[in-house]
């Protein structure tokens, strides 16, 4: 082996194993497998597959409240827990999207300790994700990839937009919620204005298959792909893109508030790789996640929660 070949192999090997391995500094426990996480002020909200939204205090990491949804009847007529698909919070209101009867979905608004049904499963709308756009408006997507803007005051749909013929996967709002990027099984990301569903642009040719999740912070868009690619796009220049390739399906991803760091589920052991979005350097490997990752949520540039198909929510602190 030549000297230069040895040096090349040494550099490659060193870069592969240079990530700092971190374990959770705290572990929270929810009622059931966690499907979504959101943070508001000093609270962490975790939706589960067992009819609950668990609310934790961020400082003490302790459970301070639990919102219980009514059970539903399954196809056999038995009472079962309703899976909560997504949760959001704005000021004193909590938006809850949950499993309904006969395959339908319910959207609830929880405010002043009261649970109010906004959209009923009787409408047979197969809603996949719902989030607040403002105090009076919510935005949601159907599995059929139709995007809805809904007015909570008038109880009317302000627009319905068919995004594509591909099955919906996920969406992410930009920081001021003026724009939305929608991911589907085609691998293409579709960007629209949220006020009127005006099309802006598509992001193409990086993910070649279903995009499981997408996140958007500042000008950076991050994807988690079935094609084992975590793609980084610049929303101001869609041609400025690259991807991280691994050997396992990437189910989840997340960005820091500044978008300087990105994280994605990177292997069969459910470890999380954290890397710098500008230099592409991989910095940390977050371990001890026992099930398939469902959500990666950064609190700030140094702290994050990782949820999975498990009761446990792992909390990590990144080192300097």
Domains (ranges, CATH) in the chain?
20-317 (2.130.10.10)
Question: 3-state DSSP call for residue 277?
Answer: coil
Phi-psi region of 4 (alpha: psi -120 to 50; beta: other; left: phi over 0): alpha
Instruction: Report the b/e string of 157-178 with b at 16+ CB within 10 A.
Output: eeeebebbebebbbbbbbeeee
pLDDT of residue 84: 99
Instruction: Show contacts of 176-185: CB within 8 Å, 24+ apart.
Output: 177/133, 177/134, 179/235, 180/139, 180/147, 181/214, 181/216, 181/221, 181/235, 182/141, 182/145, 182/147, 182/214, 183/211, 183/212, 183/213, 183/214, 183/223, 184/145, 184/210, 184/211, 185/209, 185/210, 185/211
Residue 101, Cβ neighbours under 10 Å: how many?
A: 17
Task: Give rounded-to-5 percent helix, strand, coil for the chain.
Answer: 5, 55, 40
pLDDT band at 232 (very low <50, low <70, confident <90, very high): very high
Task: Kindly tell me if the per-residue pLDDT of 275 is higher than 70.
Answer: yes
Mean pLDDT confidence for 130-141: 98
Task: Kindly tell me if the per-residue pLDDT of 26 is higher than 50.
Answer: yes
Mean pLDDT confidence for 66-76: 93
Cβ atoms of 264 and 230 within 8 Å: the answer is yes
Distance between CA atoms of residues 5 and 11, nearest Å: 10
Mean pLDDT confidence for 70-75: 92
Cβ atoms of 222 and 272 within 8 Å: the answer is no
pTM of the entire structure? 0.93
Cβ atoms of 303 and 30 within 8 Å: the answer is no
Taking the chain, what is the end-to-end CA distance rounded to the nearest angstrom?
37
Task: Kindly tell me if the per-residue pLDDT of 285 is higher than 80.
Answer: yes
Nearest to 185 by CA among 215, 202, 201, 209: 209
Task: Kindly tell me if the per-residue pLDDT of 3 is higher than 90.
Answer: no
pLDDT of residue 7: 44
Distance between CA atoms of residues 106 and 81, nearest Å: 13
Mean pLDDT confidence for 298-319: 98
The position carrying tokens 């301070």 is: 64
Distance between CA atoms of residues 264 and 201, nearest Å: 25
pLDDT band at 4 (very low <50, low <70, confident <90, very high): very low
Question: 3-state DSSP call for residue 109?
Answer: strand
Instruction: Say if strands 237-245 and 229-234 run parallel, antiparallel, or are unpaired.
Output: antiparallel
Phi-psi region of 145 (alpha: psi -120 to 50; beta: other; left: phi over 0): left
Please, what is the average pLDDT of the chain?
Answer: 94
Nearest to 202 by CA among 177, 254, 166, 176: 166
Cβ atoms of 54 and 48 within 8 Å: the answer is yes
pLDDT of residue 9: 42
Distances in Å between the alpha carbon of 144 and those of 117, 135, 224? 22, 26, 20
């Amino acid at each position: 082996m030549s000297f230069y070949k040895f040096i090349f192999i040494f550099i490659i090997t060193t870069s592969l194993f240079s990530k700092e391995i971190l374990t959770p500094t705290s572990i929270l426990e929810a009622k059931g497998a966690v499907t979504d996480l959101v943070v508001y002020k000093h609270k962490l909200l975790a939706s589960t597959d067992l009819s609950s939204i668990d609310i934790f205090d961020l400082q003490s990491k302790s459970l301070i409240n639990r919102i219980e949804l009514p059970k539903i009847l399954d196809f056999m007529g038995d009472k079962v827990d309703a899976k909560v698909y997504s949760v959001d919070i704005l000021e004193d209101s909590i938006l809850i999207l949950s499993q309904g009867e006969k395959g339908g979905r319910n959207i609830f608004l929880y405010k002043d300790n009261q649970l109010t049904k906004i959209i009923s499963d009787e409408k047979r709308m197969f809603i996949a994700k719902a989030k607040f756009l403002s105090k009076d408006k919510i935005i949601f997507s159907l599995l059929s990839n139709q995007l809805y803007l809904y007015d909570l005051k008038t109880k009317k749909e302000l627009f319905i937009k068919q995004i594509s013929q591909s099955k919906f996967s996920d969406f992410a709002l930009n920081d001021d919620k003026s724009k939305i990027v929608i991911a589907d099984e085609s691998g293409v990301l579709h960007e629209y204005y949220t006020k009127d569903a005006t099309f802006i642009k598509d992001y193409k040719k990086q993910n070649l298959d279903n995009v499981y999740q997408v996140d958007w912070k500042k000008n950076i868009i991050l994807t988690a792909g079935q094609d084992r690619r975590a793609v980084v796009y610049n929303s101001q220049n869609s041609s400025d893109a690259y991807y991280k390739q691994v050997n396992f399906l990437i189910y989840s991803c997340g960005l820091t508030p500044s978008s300087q760091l990105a994280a994605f589920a990177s292997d069969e052991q459910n470890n999380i790789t954290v890397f710098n979005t500008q230099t592409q350097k991989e910095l940390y490997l977050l371990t001890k996640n026992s099930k398939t990752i469902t959500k990666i949520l950064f609190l700030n540039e140094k702290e994050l929660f990782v949820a999975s198909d498990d009761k446990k929510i792992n909390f990590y602190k990144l080192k300097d």
